[in-house]
């Protein structure tokens, strides 16, 4: 597979890539410095907006507009004006921050929390927010990651990274509730599952923190289909564009030879560029 580094700004932890197929835009975050990035993939324009606390993920709300989940609250960011404004906050502990998130088929913000500034076991939750009302739908998590809905919206795949497993939840799209079904994938290597996305065939692409790769899995049988090696250890998340190619975020590691950690990569799976 061909991959190339398309963005590097010495970030410690890039995360949360989200592709806007309507306009061919990409959004992603640098969590610890509270920065949200906009990348126009057609013109190559890059814009950043910095918030006042760590930001875990973004939700697309319009053309060049996102809702960003930061520790100090959700902020709507308008990249046309490069301005942000406070929108709302949920009741979360002072010792947690938001991490990964996804939008459900009915427009709810589904977002997980994790310990901050120190990771603590089982103090996180996965919340559902919609029009001023919110509730916890998954409890006692440690590092919430990889929230992905099936094509019909009736299954929610979820990763609590330290478990090294992918969980399957039955999802009620009307009530916005999740019920645990089973663990469908288990990682036995050095990598731990982090962010994840689903392709048009319903297969899962999973970033491996500490594993230096993105792996491809069949959620129906829990079997790995293949993997893509990257030149950095901590691979944090991924998303797909309309061509079925991957955008992959990474983070720095303690390895002095890991010079690409914290960069954004484009992985050409289909040889169409």
Per-residue pLDDT of the chain (273 residues; tens, 9 = 90+): 689 999 999 999 999 999 999 999 999 999 999 999 999 999 999 999 999 999 999 999 999 999 999 999 999 999 999 999 999 999 999 999 999 999 999 999 999 999 999 999 999 999 999 999 999 999 999 999 999 999 999 999 999 999 999 999 999 999 999 999 999 999 999 999 999 999 999 999 999 999 999 999 999 999 999 999 999 999 999 999 999 999 999 999 998 889 999 999 999 987 543
Q: pTM value?
A: 0.96
Other C-beta atoms closer than 10 Å to the C-beta of 211 total 22
Cα 122 to Cα 5, 109, 130, 142: the distances in Å are 35, 21, 24, 5
Q: Give the burial class of 109: count Cβ atoms within 10 A of its Cβ; 0-12 exposed, 13-18 middle, 19 or more buried.
A: buried
d(CA 71, CA 35): 12
What CATH number does domain 2-268 carry, 2.40.50.1020, 3.10.129.10, 2.120.10.30, 3.20.20.70?
2.120.10.30
Contact 120, 142 (CB under 8 A): yes
């Amino acid at each position: 597979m061909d991959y190339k580094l398309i963005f590097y700004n010495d970030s410690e932890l890039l995360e949360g890539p989200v592709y806007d197929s309507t306009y061919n835009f990409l959004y992603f975050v640098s969590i610890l410095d509270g920065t949200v990035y906009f990348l126009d993939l057609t013109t190559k324009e890059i814009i950043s907006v910095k918030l006042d606390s760590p930001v875990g993920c973004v939700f697309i709300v319009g053309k060049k507009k996102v809702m960003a989940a930061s520790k100090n609250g959700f902020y709507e960011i308008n990249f046309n004006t490069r301005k942000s404004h406070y929108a709302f906050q949920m009741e979360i502990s002072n010792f947690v921050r938001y991490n990964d998130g996804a939008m459900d088929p009915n427009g709810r913000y589904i977002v997980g929390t994790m310990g901050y500034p120190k990771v603590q076991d089982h103090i996180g939750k996965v919340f559902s927010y919609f029009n001023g009302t919110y509730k916890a739908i998954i409890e006692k998590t440690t590092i919430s990651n990889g929230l992905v809905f099936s094509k019909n919206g009736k299954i929610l795949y979820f990763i609590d990274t330290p478990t090294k497993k992918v969980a399957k939840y039955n999802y009620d799209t009307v009530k916005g509730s999740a019920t645990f079904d089973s663990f469908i994938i288990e990682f036995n290597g050095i990598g731990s599952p982090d962010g994840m996305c689903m392709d048009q065939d319903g297969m899962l692409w999973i970033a491996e923190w500490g594993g230096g790769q993105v792996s491809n899995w069949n959620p129906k049988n829990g079997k790995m289909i293949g993997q893509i090696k990257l030149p950095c250890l901590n691979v944090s998340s991924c998303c797909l564009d309309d061509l079925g190619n991957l955008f992959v975020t990474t983070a720095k590691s303690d390895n002095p030879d890991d010079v690409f950690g914290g960069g954004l990569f484009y992985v050409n799976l289909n040889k169409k560029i």
